[in-house]
Amino acid sequence: MALEQNYDCDIIDCHRKYFPGANMKKSEILFAANYRYNFDRDLYVNPSTKKAFSLEFVDDHTQEDVLRGIQEPSDPEAWTFYFNVRPSDSIKRLLEQDLEAA
């Protein structure tokens, strides 16, 4: 029997509220926001928001940068990519095709 917990905040806000000063790993923040790691492309991907973060972006940026990207409004018609170097249009099209097919 699973216990249901009702919280007044999402997992990231609850972590800040109940564990002030404690750091979540950036990967934990992404997993908590329903991102999954795509080993083939080295991306954290959330198909429902159509956002993808490269592993390099996550490694090289702060938790606040990652949170800002997660919380930014997304275009439901197009993918948003967070990379250190902007991918070319042809690479973006290839990634979009791969991610749509997954």
Residue 53: predicted pLDDT = 97
**pLDDT, tens digit, 9 for 90 and up, residues 58-80:** 999 998 899 999 999 989 899 99
Count structural domains, the chain: 1
Specify the 3-state DSSP secondary structure of 66.
helix
In a domain, 40, yes or no: yes
Residue 14: predicted pLDDT = 62
In a domain, 13, yes or no: no
pTM for this predicted structure: 0.76
In a domain, 9, yes or no: no
pLDDT band at 3 (very low <50, low <70, confident <90, very high): very low
Distance CA 31, CA 46 (A): 9
- Per-residue pLDDT at 24 exceeds 90: no
Domain span including residue 80: 26-101
In a domain, 36, yes or no: yes
In a domain, 10, yes or no: no
In a domain, 21, yes or no: no
